[in-house]
Amino acid sequence: MNTRKRSLLGFTIIEVLVTIFIAGIITAFAIPSIRATLQNNRVISIANDFVADVNLARTLAVSQGATATLCVSSNQTSCTGSSWAQGWLVWVDEDGDGTLDAAEIARTHAAVNHVTFTSSDNDILYLSTGFGEAGFTGASFTLTHDNCTNSANRTLTLSAAGTPRVAKVACP
């Protein structure tokens, strides 16, 4: 006679339900944290994109010896719009006529969602020297996520020389 005990290969329904219940509780606590992280990363990503495009405009102005502009663009084909959240574009005035031609567009950025992007300036012009246009004293931009948590907001500041700096800002 075989007197060995048989081992159970499965789980009871109670064990499965308790495991699912515990996993549900852990998930309920983790989701808000994940959502906040994604929101914070969205603002950081947009700030990084904008700084990269500021640096691109400045570099193109120097390398091509022409005025380069970073401007608000609601349609990504012309300098139109009222908010940086509508998108922007970088262009170089290669022919020196002060008018944007389709062939002069170097980079575009689509509209951003769930982020308020404000500034009193709708364009930034870099001269062939790499400095801002005459009389440029700097500019400030604020990026705020609709559901901000902690210090997810960012302030971008352009110095009078045109160099960008990003700082964390606490949520209101």
> Hey, what CATH class is 14-169 in?
alpha beta
List the beta bridge partners of residue 165. Answer: 157
Token pair of 171 as six digits: 């949520």
The full set of domain ranges for the chain reads: 14-169
Side-chain-facing half-sphere of 40: CA atoms under 13 Å? 14
Residue 7: per-residue pLDDT: 43
Residue 70: per-residue pLDDT: 94
Token pair of 64 as six digits: 């091509």
Q: What's the distance, Cα to Cα, between the start and end of the chain in Å?
A: 77
Give the pLDDT of the chain (172 residues) as one tens digit per residue.
454 444 445 778 888 889 899 998 888 887 777 777 787 888 889 999 999 999 999 999 999 999 999 999 999 999 998 899 999 999 999 998 989 999 999 999 999 988 888 888 889 999 999 888 888 888 899 888 877 766 678 899 998 888 899 998 877 6
Q: Is 55 helix (H, G, I), strand (E, B) or coil?
A: helix
